[in-house]
Amino acid sequence: MIQRIQTVYLTLLVICLGLTFGFPFATYPINDTVVELNAFGVSENTLKVSTWFPYYVTLGLSIGLGIMTIAQFKNRKRQLQLGKVNYLIIIITLIFISIDSDATTKKLGLMPSAISYGIGMFLPVAALAFQFLANRGIKADEKLIKSMDRLR
């Protein structure tokens, strides 16, 4: 049913990942300019610094999986499988964000203390927590249905 708590968690997941497109992962102060690392790469690319991982693809895929998971409310097993795949994609995205953030710092020749991490870095972490809570809710529903079937 669509009014379950995991639907709320999955909706919050989709919102968090959607907001990630609007906020930078990290900002790097260089002289008078500020270089931002966001979902589409590095802004102010006058220094020819590039990232090697397309975040917009994985974030879009996670948003799509979140919406598909909401739509599969009648099939809890498939919902759980999609949730596990989405969990893995979000973790991979977070790992590559941290790797690219560190690599960009080294390419720009900055000290790690000069980086200012943006809210875009923490929104996927919140989405990961919402995916965990949604999976837990789906498992609880599955357990409840199985216990009801034993009583029949």
* pLDDT digits 0-9 by tens, 81-127: 999 999 999 999 999 888 888 888 888 788 877 788 889 999 999 99
Q: Average pLDDT, stretch 25-39?
A: 83
Judge whether 48 lies within some domain.
yes
Judge whether 51 lies within some domain.
yes
pLDDT at 48 over 70: no
Judge whether 147 lies within some domain.
no
What CATH number is associated with residue 17?
1.20.140.150
Judge whether 117 lies within some domain.
yes
pLDDT at 141 over 90: no
Strand ordering across the sheet containing 26-30: 41-42, 33-38, 26-30, 116-117
The predicted model scores a pTM of: 0.86
Judge whether 52 lies within some domain.
yes
The DSSP string of 24-91 is -SEEEEETTEEEEEETTEESSGGG----SS-HHHHHHHHHHHHHHHHHTTT-HHHHHHHHHHHHHHHH
| Domain count across the chain | 1
Q: Tell me the residue range of the domain where 35 lies.
A: 5-142
Judge whether 11 lies within some domain.
yes
Share of the chain above pLDDT 90, in %: 44
Judge whether 23 lies within some domain.
yes
In this prediction, residue 45 carries a pLDDT of 60
Mean pLDDT score across all residues of the chain: 86
- Between 29-33, 117-121, 138-142, the lowest mean confidence (pLDDT) is in 29-33
Judge whether 135 lies within some domain.
yes
Share of the chain above pLDDT 70, in %: 90
In this prediction, residue 88 carries a pLDDT of 95
